[in-house]
Amino acid sequence: MKEIDCFGLSCPIPVVNTKKALKDNPKELAVLVDNVAAKENVSRFGKAMGYNVEVLEIDGGWKIQLKK
């Protein structure tokens, strides 16, 4: 699964980066974030784009998995 690293980035940058990564309509994508606002915003954006969203806790933050 392709991963984008959004550690250290404040909103809205993680959402902007996620939007760019979803441009070609991939089947799946993982987004790494380390603040709660980014976790919520990326999850919400993923759902709005029609993905199933799963949030896993990882060291120092979360891995948000988007799957179609």
Partner 1 sequence: MSKEKRNLIIAGVLIGAISVALVAFGNPKNMGFCIACFIRDMAGAAKMHSAGVVQYVRPEIIGLVLGAFIISKATGEFKSRGGSSPMLRFLIGAFVMIGALIFLGCPFRMILRLAGGDLNALVALAGFICGIAVACFFLARGFSLGKYYFQNNIEGTSLSAVNALLLVLLIFVPSVFAFSEKGPGSMHAAIIISLAAGLIVGVLAQRTRLCMVGGIRDIILVRDYTLIVGFVAIFVAALAGNLITGNFKLGFEGQPVAHTAHVWNFLGMFVVGLGSAMLGGCPLRQLILAGEGNSDSALSVAGMFVGAAVAHNFKLVGNATENGPNTYGKVALVLIIVILLCIASVRTFAKKK
Instruction: Return residues touching partner 1 (CB under 8 A).
Output: 7-13, 15-16, 19, 35-37, 40, 44-45, 48
The single residue of 4, 9, 11, 53 carrying the catalytic annotation is 11
Residues in the chain: 68
CB atoms within 10 A of CB 51: 21
Whole-number minimum distance, CB 11 to partner 1, in Å? 6
> CA-to-CA distance for 68 and 61, rounded, in angstroms?
23
- Is 11 tagged catalytic? yes
CA distance 57 to 32: 10
CB of 41 to partner 1, least distance (A): 8
Residue placing its CB nearer to partner 1 in the complex, 1 or 16: 16
Catalytic residues: 11
